[in-house]
Chains A and B, each alone.
Chain A
Amino acid sequence: MIAIGFEGSANKIGIGILEHTASGEAVVLANVRRTYITPPGQGFLPKDTAVHHRQHVLALVKEALAVAKIKPSQIDCICFTKGPGMAAPLISVALVARTLSLIWKKPLVGVNHAIGHIEMGRMITGAQNPIVLYVSGGNTQVIAYSEKRYRIFGEAIDIAVGNCLDRFARIVGLPNDPAPGYNVEQCAKRGKTFVELPYGVKGMDVSFSGILTFIESVAEDKLKKGLVTVDDLCYSLQETLFAMLVEITERAMAHVGSSEVLIVGGVGSNVRLQEMMESMVKDRGGRLFATDERFCIDNGLMIAQAGALMYATGIVTELENTNCTQRYRTDDVYVAWRE
């Protein structure tokens, strides 16, 4: 079975093509992507992001088909991100998926973006039943599978951890190329002075906006006075944010009795986060699973993977129900494809 997946919920537009062979193997046929990068100090707004996606999506479809060396007739299902995410970018990509569905006469499968990340992580790493830490610019959730649902055990109550890192990068003028969080990570490696920041764990949940406000005032004060460097602040911010994430992940592991952790989402490509998580997981006699930037940063292949699993259980999304939704809870989806 061959699935094509369309992803464009934030500033990445990606198309992936995947084959599930008769012997149960998942083969990557194509995974192409473009990223909308704004100048330093600026975030990406929905309207401009949608313009970017509209400019690239059709060429990416052609590129994906060419890389996969397949014709549209060989595709079994067209998978696309239904939500969550930004409305105009989501709709732009969904319109192309819907149009191709009618032209090529193939069924559509509307996929939850978070579940795309989870299923891609499971497929690439082989992790069986891990606690999943989903961390990105738009989402921060601790998830565990139980009885046909990916249940949210804990989450950010205000802004996502990636959003906190990205906005901090903008405050200190770090470039957005290739991603603001990547540049924060590189600066953090050179940090020497640890600046104490508020710690925002609230039971199973985390809060980041207070830390952002605080570090903004530190930047106005100590940074301007030359008492700390940007590297020091990046280092301090990462250590604090990641310690919080490790804590709530550990709490979920204890609740569920799991010894596996899988990190997905763009922030999952951060090596320091992986180090800190692995340290905790190893202390508990467990195993950490993580993927590289091809798969943990938003991509079309993850949508194809989750969509293919859904399609294999008979799920299709009728055209009238392919509307995009900015809010779409991970636990709203009935996970028919797992025990």
Chain B
Amino acid sequence: MATTLTPKDFATATPSWWCAGCGDFGVLAALKQACAELGLEPHKVAFISGIGCSGKISGYLHSYAFHGVHGRALPTATAVKLANTDLTVIVAGGDGDGYAIGAGHFIHAVRRNPDMTYIVMDNQTYGLTKGQSSPTSMLGYKAGPHPQGNPDAPINGLAIALAAGATFIARAFSSEPKQMAEMIKEAVRHPGFGIVEVLSPCVTFNKVNTYKWFKENVYHLDDLPGYDVRDRVRAFATLTQPGKIPLGIFYREIRPTLEELMLGTGRPPIASLPIETVDPGLAALQDAYA
């Protein structure tokens, strides 16, 4: 890219849908910032989102944006990447989208390690369907189907990701868009599957995990002396430590990506293959049946 980009180059004309104060605004701002600073060309970005308030984000990033069905953004994105390795593939969706209905795909996307970035916009509730408990809601969270309080223990998406073989794991906070943008940039640059979980408060429904609550309950990995992102055991201990919520990059590791393993390197993207004329070599395949 010859000209320098600004976040505005990634804006769309569509007015955003979120409630004033929603954490998702911070995610969008950080994402646009990251895309601009990475010098991505909008037509080479495939941005795939889940369904939920969070999933609306695909309408607001100038790119090839795809807003599919609930929970299935990761398999869609995996195939987009395999189809065209020249693309920068970014996925975003909610905690319900990724950790409930899409939980199966989440684990498998992680273990496949396609080169893409996955932003989980975690508000510890189902925003779009009006505030029910989500897989990350705290025990006792009182919501629609759980008037007596949520009886299901919350899950730890990042620890699950680590166990499933994630190669880049980070957590950001919506009120810290600068740090979030840095983490997203790192995740995009990371050659493999990068997950960035973002604490993104739902101001309308989640009256427990508010901005104030988060500010009191987070800390930064940078403040931990001697933290080493290559130390898998330490990463797991840190992620699963009860108490305050750590922010930062927990873990990184380089291992072959799905595309490298399946397609090899140095080959043209599948999407660019000239399939209009039938490969005459195909005729020989019939000999096995003669």
Task: Please indicate whether A and B come from the same complex rather than being unrelated chains.
Answer: no
B interface vs A, CB < 8 Å? none
